[in-house]
Structure 1
Amino acid sequence: MRTERSILEQAGLASGLLTEEQIDHAWQMLVESQPVAHLSLEEITDKQLAEQLVALEYINRWQAEQLCHGRTKFTLGSYRILDAIGHGGMGWVFQGEHVLLGRIEAIKVLPKNQTNQNSIASFCREIRAQALLDHPNLVRLSYADTDGETYFLVTEYVPGTDLRRLVRTHGPLSQEQAAVIISQAAQALGYAHTQGLIHRDVKPGNLLITLEGNTKLTDLGLAVFSDDAAAIESKPKHIVGTADFLAPEVIVQPGEVHSISDVYSLGCTLYYAVTGKVPYPSGDTADKLRRQLDDEPIAPQRLNPEVDDSFAEVIKEMMQKRPADRIPTAADVVKRLQPWVASAGQNVNRSIGVLAEIQTDQ
């Protein structure tokens, strides 16, 4: 007979995630699933108990991991933290539920160990930037606050996946599917640019794909308003963004912030969508940056024979090294992709949504 609760059990009860009845049920299931000679109460570990609790759907895997570490706080302001989604340019992103409204949303948290004057200022810039934007292809901000010393912002929760995971799972997309996704992302970028906001971290992981097959651009953690760029970049200059998707001018002059750099990054993202590879896949960060400056990527037709020359030309023009030679605006990208969007028909969004749904279920 057990005389005391384990770390997981104590944390589960203290947090309110588990009841004594649920824990005892999981214990009973574990004991009954094994011959008595092979498993005693003392030999049952927290890991085994956690797996049983997850199998019974009393908690999810992320909650189980937290409880095994003795963590008991699963609230933030008016929100109950349900699961971890991932991490963005600045902070972790969680799935949460508003305690009173019952609404499921995404919560981005600035970690305490990263909290300093600069990170708080950047986080607040992200909040202000997102608060000013309202577009169907941008993730909407709904709330922002602090809980003690923890800063967090709340956005709509987008069921589905992101473009990076979608391509990793299902392989390169068709021209029509890629055109629809990138065109919607370009519409979001074009709107943001008209508001004076430069994203600075456009990449597949920041393009969310909904279960309806629509695209939402997310993560403004590195975004900056063009009229604030001079003040922000007056600090010691460093390259901002992700090496696989950085425009050459950002590498050469990190202090310069222009909307056309987002067009280049979106071109790299389109390249990835139809080839399944980043433009310069090998080497370390320094080598990738050098190749962004000096090399031409492998023609997408060589990696995916279904890419036709005219589509590849759009990618090439989005990824021109010199900004003056590049497709000038996100709105122009939308126009250039329109033939493939038009030929895709109404069913293409559904086909994209099906892929996103399969990815979500895995």
Structure 2
Amino acid sequence: MQSDHSHTDRLELVAIGPGSEDFWRRILPENREVRLGRAPKNGWSVPWDRWISREQAIIILQNRQVQITCLETATNKISWQGELCTACTLQHGDEFQIGQTRFVIGPSAESVQAKATAMAEEEPSIDEIVQQPPRQRLERLLDMLSDDARKPPPNPQAIGVPQSAHSQPSANVPQAEPHSDAPQPPFAKAPQAEPQSAAPQPPFAKAPQAEPQSDVPQPGPQSDAHDLRAELERQQQRQEEITEEAERLQRQKNERSIEARFLREEVAQLRSKLRKKSQTAKQPDEVIRKAQQTPDTPEDDSSSSNRRSEQAADVAALQDEIQNLQNLLSKQMKALEDSEQRIGANTQLDITRASLEAERKARERSQEEVEKLRDEIAALQGHMQEVKEGKSPKPEKEKDKALETHLGLTAVEADDVDENENESSGGATFRGYELLNQIYNGGTGQVLKAKHQVMNRMVAIKLLSEENQSSIMIGRFARKVQILAYLNHPNLVSAFDAGQEAGVNYLITEYIPGRSMIRLLKRIKQLDIAHAIHFITQTCNALEYVHKRRIFHRNINPSHLLVTPEKSVKIVGWGSALFAGDAKLKEFESKGVLVGTPDYMAPEQIDDPGNVDQRADIYSLGCTLYSIMTKRVVYPVDWTRRKLIAQRHQPAPNLKALRPDAPNLLEHIFQKMVAKDPAERFQSMTEVRDALHAVVQLPKDD
């Protein structure tokens, strides 16, 4: 039974072209692709429509739904529900159009015949029809009326009634009174006949004859069904008119696009024709001059003058035609310019908006640079005032400031993770931790050293300042928290807890008793090559672990490398990290805004910080290697803009120029790490670590 059911429910595709003979219908196979086009190799062809490509689309029927997908070779799209598309899913009764051909999806002829037979076998009674829903009841009544109209009239002789009795009503039988013209309610029951009298009839009395049918239309279910059917037909006709109007508007749109294309081709043809006519117009003058110079064939004066007159007339006609072509070309060019101006209005508006947005961002960046210059000028003025008053800074602090400047780091970045043993907080507590002292206090917040009151474990508590409670700063802080909670590596700081307390966001991490690479470099004259490679190799191990999880630091520099007393490196500063595929990145980062430290940024990170990978961290680590070995940045220039230009275009300096003791292999590794093209660098931290292992053997702990 399942096979019979599927056989009777088949769908077919009907193609209706512009001509009277442009028509075909095909049964859609189940779960099999069929190619549609003007002349496909294996499929259904529509040869009468030149707007359909040779290989136009693929049609497949699955679960009573028809999926149509245009091929790459198709020049025109599918017009469906007033819109152009390359793919759509249709059902029974839907239609679409490609070019000038309309396609309709409907049941096959054998399916319709099978359903009609099933409906005839399952004919319900009037009582069952009355109990059905209104729409189903109406459709059933309409089908019954249509069946009654197709039935032939009954034969009087077949039911035993004489022809004369059937055709002539008896005078003795009373006639039925005509019905009132008042409207009857839908599906009202017909009036019942009066009961026959029980009086005895005389012998051989004739049987009472049936009353003749009146020619007046009787109200009741048939008349109401007729009105409803007429209303349904009017609604369907209105729907067809709306569909035709939508198709007409779509055809107009397609025709205008085609007309614009033909207009461009016509302008090109007119230009070519104009050049040819201009060349042709010069030829008669040359013929006249040659005729005057060549006296080989004697001619009389009258024939020569006639020939010259004809040539002059031809020249004048050609000049008139050229003038007409020029006028026509001008009109066509004007029409084409108007059309292109209308088409490009929206594009020009978008370009203007983008230019205004870029100009606004440039003004903001310029304003930030001006503010920085003002701060530097104020600092210099304060320094000059101290010198005048005889207050000179301590030599050690001056030395530290000079080193920070040489390393391209601000005071905040240099002291971001260094312990600053301030006075004790006097026994204050925070969420079960006893606050001991302040490690750092800056623009983004403060870091406190604390001890758990029960576990006796030392921790560092990062508190976001009240001035940095914007959505952007909170978003970056939350991303940092999520990244640290996701990672677990010996060379990374572990996170214990995070949340919000009294409106302040906090992060609790393990306490690192060491100091940053900046502080380490301040206290030694020069970092030997073995220890430099030892620190960089540990950084490679941590970044290799991070990169495998599609996380990129984007701000590797000496201030974000902590060195423990055991000579172990811990990477911090994850506020600028990038989670590959992070959908919320655009909420607090936009194209054109710098992310990272300019002296350690890769060229591709300057252009688009949201589209970088592990090779950007390799570039930053190469700049860090150069800085910890030379106590200088790679490009020691003033102004942020000059630094960015140098990172993009200026070749990297030689490491051996400041560190002659550096091996040639280390020079080669450094140059490859800071290559401008990401494809020319090491492609992973594993490659960097293996290359550094070949330079020198790792040192033992001191």
Normalising TM by the smaller chain, what interval? 0.7 to 0.9
The code of the aligned residue for 2:545 comes to Y
Asked if residue 78 in structure 1 is aligned to residue 438 in structure 2, the reply is no
Rate the CA distance shift 1:175–1:86 in 2: closer, same or farther, 3 A. Answer: same
What are the within-5 Å matches in structure 2 for residues 324-343 of structure 1?
Answer: 324-340=679-695, 343=697
The code of the aligned residue for 1:328 comes to Q
Q: How many residues end up aligned between the 2 structures?
A: 281
What are the within-5 Å matches in structure 2 for residues 16-165 of structure 1?
Answer: 62-63=422-423, 74-86=428-440, 91-165=445-519
Q: 3-state DSSP class of the match of 1:63?
A: coil
1:67-125, Cα deviation, whole Å (9 max, x unpaired): xxxxx894432223322323699543222222332211111121111012221121111
Asked if residue 260 in structure 1 is aligned to residue 615 in structure 2, the reply is yes
Residue 172 of structure 1: which of 519, 526, 530 is its match? 526
| Max Rg structure | 2
Q: 3-state DSSP class of the match of 1:119?
A: helix
Q: 3-state DSSP class of the match of 2:527?
A: coil
**Unpaired segments of 5 or more residues in structure 2?**
1-419
Aligned to 2:643: 288
2:571, 2:511 → 1: CA distance? Answer: 13
Aligned to 2:60: none
Please say if residues 90 and 221 of structure 1, whose CA atoms lie closer than 8 Å, have aligned partners that are also in contact.
no
Give the Å deviation of 1:169. 2.3
**TM-score under structure 1 normalisation?**
0.72
Aligned to 1:241: 596
Aligned to 1:15: none
Asked if residue 311 in structure 1 is aligned to residue 666 in structure 2, the reply is yes
Rate the CA distance shift 1:89–1:187 in 2: closer, same or farther, 3 A. Answer: farther
1:258-300, Cα deviation, whole Å (9 max, x unpaired): 1210111011111112111111123122221111112123311
**TM-score under structure 2 normalisation?**
0.38
Give the Å deviation of 1:134. 0.7
Please say if residues 427 and 434 of structure 2, whose CA atoms lie closer than 8 Å, have aligned partners that are also in contact.
no
The code of the aligned residue for 1:258 comes to D
**Unpaired segments of 5 or more residues in structure 1?**
1-59, 67-71, 351-362
1:309, 1:202 → 2: CA distance? Answer: 25
Give the Å deviation of 1:254. 2.7
Give the Å deviation of 1:181. 0.4
1:270, 1:123 → 2: CA distance? Answer: 28
Aligned to 2:624: 269
2:683, 2:542 → 1: CA distance? Answer: 16
Q: 3-state DSSP class of the match of 1:136?
A: coil
The code of the aligned residue for 2:596 comes to G
Aligned to 2:554: 200
Higher alpha-carbon deviation: 91-100 or 120-129: 91-100
1:282-319, Cα deviation, whole Å (9 max, x unpaired): 31222211111121233111111111211111111111
Rate the CA distance shift 1:246–1:264 in 2: closer, same or farther, 3 A. Answer: same
Please say if residues 496 and 509 of structure 2, whose CA atoms lie closer than 8 Å, have aligned partners that are also in contact.
yes
Please say if residues 77 and 146 of structure 1, whose CA atoms lie closer than 8 Å, have aligned partners that are also in contact.
no
Rate the CA distance shift 1:272–1:171 in 2: closer, same or farther, 3 A. Answer: farther
The code of the aligned residue for 1:190 comes to E
Please say if residues 652 and 674 of structure 2, whose CA atoms lie closer than 8 Å, have aligned partners that are also in contact.
no
2:568, 2:441 → 1: CA distance? Answer: 22
Aligned to 2:654: 299
Please say if residues 160 and 210 of structure 1, whose CA atoms lie closer than 8 Å, have aligned partners that are also in contact.
yes
1:50-81, Cα deviation, whole Å (9 max, x unpaired): xxxxxxxxxx96237x8xxxxx8944322233
1:296-349, Cα deviation, whole Å (9 max, x unpaired): 2331111111112111111111111110111111121111111245x234x2x3
Q: 3-state DSSP class of the match of 2:497?
A: strand
2:684, 2:444 → 1: CA distance? Answer: 27
Rate the CA distance shift 1:102–1:275 in 2: closer, same or farther, 3 A. Answer: same
Give the Å deviation of 1:204. 0.6
Q: 3-state DSSP class of the match of 2:694?
A: helix
2:580, 2:674 → 1: CA distance? Answer: 21
Asked if residue 217 in structure 1 is aligned to residue 577 in structure 2, the reply is no
Please say if residues 268 and 278 of structure 1, whose CA atoms lie closer than 8 Å, have aligned partners that are also in contact.
yes
1:88, 1:137 → 2: CA distance? Answer: 25
1:206-246, Cα deviation, whole Å (9 max, x unpaired): 11111001111112111121121x64136532110011111
Q: 3-state DSSP class of the match of 2:523?
A: helix
The code of the aligned residue for 2:480 comes to E
Asked if residue 278 in structure 1 is aligned to residue 633 in structure 2, the reply is yes
Give the Å deviation of 1:133. 0.5
Percent identity, please: 33
Aligned to 2:585: 232
Rate the CA distance shift 1:249–1:316 in 2: closer, same or farther, 3 A. Answer: same
Rate the CA distance shift 1:168–1:285 in 2: closer, same or farther, 3 A. Answer: farther
Please say if residues 76 and 147 of structure 1, whose CA atoms lie closer than 8 Å, have aligned partners that are also in contact.
no
Q: 3-state DSSP class of the match of 1:96?
A: strand
Q: 3-state DSSP class of the match of 2:668?
A: helix
| RMSD over equivalenced CA pairs, Å | 2.2
The code of the aligned residue for 2:534 comes to V
